[in-house]
Amino acid sequence: AQTVTQSQPEMSVQEAETVTLSCTYDTSESDYYLFWYKQPPSRQMILVIRQEAYKQQNATENRFSVNFQKAAKSFSLKISDSQLGDAAMYFCAYRSFQGGSEKLVFGKGTKLTVNP
Amino acid sequence: ETGVTQSPTHLIKTRGQQVTLRCSSQSGHNTVSWYQQALGQGPQFIFQYYREEENGRGNFPPRFSGLQFPNYSSELNVNALELDDSALYLCASSLIGREAFFGQGTRLTVV
């Protein structure tokens, strides 16, 4: 079974600084997708960034980038130039696709605080 | 905001009662997945519906059931509510194999 582990329950960063959130996962599949989702107090899960496992190049979306280490099964999120609006819960997720059915497997999340 | 809407936003039920939660999927999406998010935890997969058929299920008992309608909207039904069913229930819609878009969730409290 696939598992996702986020070892940092809480992180804080100063506005305009850089922070890295950690995520490791376990799977026997060779082709899969990894995601980082942001959940602000409004509760809606918002996709931040996506990484296809077959792509060696790390995904980047504006201030957000990932460090994807497939052999180590590691998928960290780097937020540059942190803004107050980045404060939220961040969830790492793995998309499993087996037998025509797909599901997201989430970690327990990291609460990010941005200090002015 | 995504085009996925859930109703109601909050509700309170008594242990042993039944509840129905609703989800309108984003236009063009034919797949709906439901997740349960307990306080302080990540979402857990309940089940997925694809073209009106259940298309995968997580580790949830049969008293959790669902429906998907021809317009691809969906319902989650929970019978014989237990205190541990108190959680945020999230609906996500997608085209199969593509990115999932989430609604804002329904906060269920069982007393």
Residue A4 has pLDDT above 90, yes or no: yes
Q: Which residue of B has its CA nearest to A4?
A: B42
CA distance A78 to B31: 31
Q: Is the pLDDT of residue A15 over 70?
A: yes
Residues of B with CB under 8 A from a CB of A: 1-2, 33, 35, 40-45, 48, 55-56, 58, 88, 90, 92, 96-97, 99-105, 107
Q: Strand A24-26 vs strand A33-39: parallel, antiparallel, or unpaired?
A: unpaired
Instruction: Verify whether the Cβ–Cβ distance A103 to B33 is below 8 Å.
Output: yes
Per-residue pLDDT tens digits for B43-102 = 999 999 998 999 999 999 999 999 999 988 999 999 999 999 999 999 999 887 788 999
Other CB atoms within 10 A of residue A83 CB:
11
- Chain A residues closer than 8 Å to B35 by CB: 104, 106
What is the model's pLDDT at position A102?
Answer: 86
A69-97 pLDDT, tens digit each: 999 999 999 999 999 999 999 999 999 87
CA distance A64 to A58: 11
Q: Work out the average pLDDT over A13-28.
A: 96
Which comes out higher in pLDDT, residue A107 or A97?
A: A107
pLDDT for the residue A83: 97
* Shortest Cα–Cα distance, B38 to chain A (Å): 10
Q: Residue B109 has which token pair?
A: 């409290």
Tell me the mean pLDDT in the region B6-18: 97
Q: Taking CB atoms and an 8 Å cutoff, what residues of chain A touch B102?
A: 37, 44-46
What pLDDT does residue A56 have? 85
A85/A106 Cα distance (integer angstroms): 22
- What per-residue confidence (pLDDT) applies to A13? 98
CA distance B52 to B33: 12
**Rounded to a whole number, what is the distance in angstroms from the first to the last CA of chain B?**
32
CB B56 within 8 A of CB B48: yes
A116 to chain B, closest Cα gap in Å: 25
